[in-house]
Amino acid sequence: MTADAVPDVERTDDQEDVPLGGYAVLAGAFTTAAAVYAGLARSRGLRLPERVPPWDVALLGTATYKAARLLSRDKVTSFVRAPFTRRTGEALGAEVMDEPQGRGVRRAVGDLVSCPFCLSVWVAGALVGSYAWTSRATRLVCAGLGAVTLADWLQYAWTWTQQTTEE
């Protein structure tokens, strides 16, 4: 079934049309990817960790936060969002505000890629899958994203300190 063949089922809420058919396609894609990953992992004999230490959960959470913000708000990743969104403004730091455009699946993807909260589920899925497959490499990537998150907070603290002393 192609994206164009999906019925453009929409419901109007108080604010706008809601692309329910597009959301169903995205939910199906996520579920299918998870099932394919699980099947591939099982067929290759991947042994899942018996537990995930709390510090790894914190590291994965921090990396998920940063990767979702980078993909959904960063100027440099605008090319990923451009087919599905339009720029509506600037935000703090190097972040931008994009608004979904189109109808159906295109609109649903626009909703996904312009929302860091929505995108975090997909990012977490990818990072957890990677963690199960190769935890050392994933920890390293997550540590890098965690360092960027810390650097961002320090940049905001420095800016706040400068603004406070200039007043």
pLDDT digits (tens, 9 = 90+) for 113-143: 999 999 999 999 999 999 999 999 999 999 9
SS3 70: helix
Mean pLDDT of the chain: 91
* CB-based contact 162:154 (threshold 8 Å): no
Backbone angles phi, psi at 95, to 5 degrees: -90, 155
The answer, yes or no, to whether residue 11 has pLDDT greater than 80, is: no
Range of the domain at 27: 3-166
SS3 91: coil
pLDDT at 166: 83
The confidence band for 9, taking pLDDT boundaries of 50, 70 and 90, is low
The answer, yes or no, to whether residue 1 has pLDDT greater than 60, is: no
pLDDT over 90, % of the chain? 79
pLDDT at 32: 97
pLDDT at 5: 54
Q: What is the mean pLDDT of residues 91-114?
A: 93
* CB-based contact 21:10 (threshold 8 Å): yes
* CB-based contact 127:139 (threshold 8 Å): no
pLDDT at 58: 97
The answer, yes or no, to whether residue 3 has pLDDT greater than 60, is: no
pLDDT at 13: 58
Backbone angles phi, psi at 3, to 5 degrees: -60, -35
pLDDT digits (tens, 9 = 90+) for 47-91: 989 999 999 999 999 999 999 999 999 999 999 999 999 999 998
Return the residue matching tokens 């312009």. Answer: 114
DSSP state of 38: H
Which contacts qualify for 7-10: CB closer than 8 Å, 24 or more apart? 8/103, 8/104, 10/103
In the chain, the number of structural domains is 1
The confidence band for 167, taking pLDDT boundaries of 50, 70 and 90, is confident
pLDDT at 42: 92
Tokens matching residue 25: 């396609």
